Structure 1
């Protein structure tokens, strides 16, 4: 077994229980054991920078990097400042999604300050200040992330409507908890961002670990030397992983991390 030198962790549904909106003591302690063993722990999430920083605090991560907005935004975990931001033109994407998902609320991320929104979003889902904007203002500048929330519809409905749809110059994923479409620049995924980081750190592929539960985690799970899907993950996510652990409510991440640490010891 190889040592867990780079450990990439999704947040919602993996580190944090969406039902209770908490990070368990077990998860915090398991992450600390990885750090103490010399591993780089990287939070890789669809959340914005503002939604990610409190998670870094909860986990006690004060060095290295965090990958936010599905990899479009990289943050220095020590300084809490952005290191790199990738953006796209949201205007054609908004036009297309507005037609396909009528009645959706949209949010355009403003890195480090909040979001421009066409309608109010639940605070537990869209972190940071929300500023109402008309469509012209919403799409008037390049953004790292655009969200469409098709309230009153299911993720399966959104998936059916968007099947085979290509959004110009973008990559999109659909949440499995709500009809929530996250759009980022084309080619940007958690897996692609982690590969850049892995190369910079000089970590071997065999020494990488990733855990997640959502559609936006699939490329990350396929990238990792060892990958774990959470027990509540849908079938496509489970199929992308080397193993499936217990659910987030059952501290499945703790089991997976401790097992890998135990087996990797000489």
Structure 2
């Protein structure tokens, strides 16, 4: 971890963004200077592609992104999906069957069309872009599971997020990946082997960059695979305990521009 990294990978929400979901001018400036100097910066997020616009509007230029917890690798310059690892319809059906048997009242949504659109069951509680034209309720469970999905979302009322994800992961062991990136009781499900680490590893291999040459920033359990994979793992101070336990270092909180401050010192761009 002594050498200067060749690539910067960072989570967005709770890490790069402040609590009001804005990118500070300091953070935007540091990222712009790094990319201008030739150091690649990639966003690694649970967000769908359709949510990236809110971040891109605050940056000097759009950055490559690994979305949906590693299931989608996105190039904003050409609005191109470079790689996608969706759950096939038959796998979605089996995941849903197992969870309906294990979790009373569970309800689902899916990210489809490489996460450009979302479909949800009628009783699935929408917390954010409910009025977006890319969001639509389906008429039946069969319709929900009919197309490949880069992420399946599961809710079951108010749940302890850590306990709920453990329950879901146990039910899906060997079949799919389960994680969470919020405290709202939402579990995010991807195909087996699809994690932020896997998506980032694929992207770095494309550039000829090894794990040891990557510095990664995160705050929530869905960041743990990426942070474990990267040569230098940095948690922000507001991170979940699971992230703080495995990080090599801890930066200041997201509300204090922790990522920017760390990068200024590491790359001497302050």
What TM-score do you get using the length of structure 2 for normalisation? 0.88
Paired residue for 1:84?
83
Give the secondary structure class of the aligned counterpart of 2:58: helix
Q: Which stretch shifts more, 160-169 or 177-186?
A: 160-169
C-alpha contact 1:73 1:84 (8 A) present in aligned 2 = yes
The 1:39–1:115 alpha-carbon spacing in structure 2 relative to 1, beyond 3 Å, is same
Paired residue for 1:258?
264
Give the secondary structure class of the aligned counterpart of 2:187: strand
Matches within 5 A, 1:233-244: 233-244=239-250
1:125 Cα offset (Å) = 9.1
Q: Deviations over 1:95-134 (max 9, x none)?
A: 2223333223311112254111013411259976221112
Matches within 5 A, 1:94-113: 94-111=96-113, 113=116
1:62 Cα offset (Å) = 3.7
The 1:236–1:181 alpha-carbon spacing in structure 2 relative to 1, beyond 3 Å, is same
Give the secondary structure class of the aligned counterpart of 1:164: helix
The 1:108–1:242 alpha-carbon spacing in structure 2 relative to 1, beyond 3 Å, is same
Give the secondary structure class of the aligned counterpart of 1:140: coil
The 1:184–1:163 alpha-carbon spacing in structure 2 relative to 1, beyond 3 Å, is closer
Paired residue for 1:52?
52
Structure 2 CA distance, aligned partners of 1:11 and 1:125?
21
Structure 1 CA distance, aligned partners of 2:182 and 2:224?
13
The 1:160–1:171 alpha-carbon spacing in structure 2 relative to 1, beyond 3 Å, is closer
Equivalent residues, number: 262
Paired residue for 1:23?
23
1:181 Cα offset (Å) = 0.5
The 1:185–1:212 alpha-carbon spacing in structure 2 relative to 1, beyond 3 Å, is same
Name the Cα RMSD after superposition: 2.4
1:211 Cα offset (Å) = 0.2
C-alpha contact 2:98 2:171 (8 A) present in aligned 1 = no
What TM-score do you get using the length of structure 1 for normalisation? 0.89
The 1:259–1:126 alpha-carbon spacing in structure 2 relative to 1, beyond 3 Å, is farther
Q: Does 1:116 align with 2:122?
A: no
Give the secondary structure class of the aligned counterpart of 1:4: coil
Give the secondary structure class of the aligned counterpart of 2:201: helix
C-alpha contact 2:110 2:120 (8 A) present in aligned 1 = yes
Q: Does 1:93 align with 2:92?
A: no
Give the secondary structure class of the aligned counterpart of 2:268: helix
Give the secondary structure class of the aligned counterpart of 1:237: helix
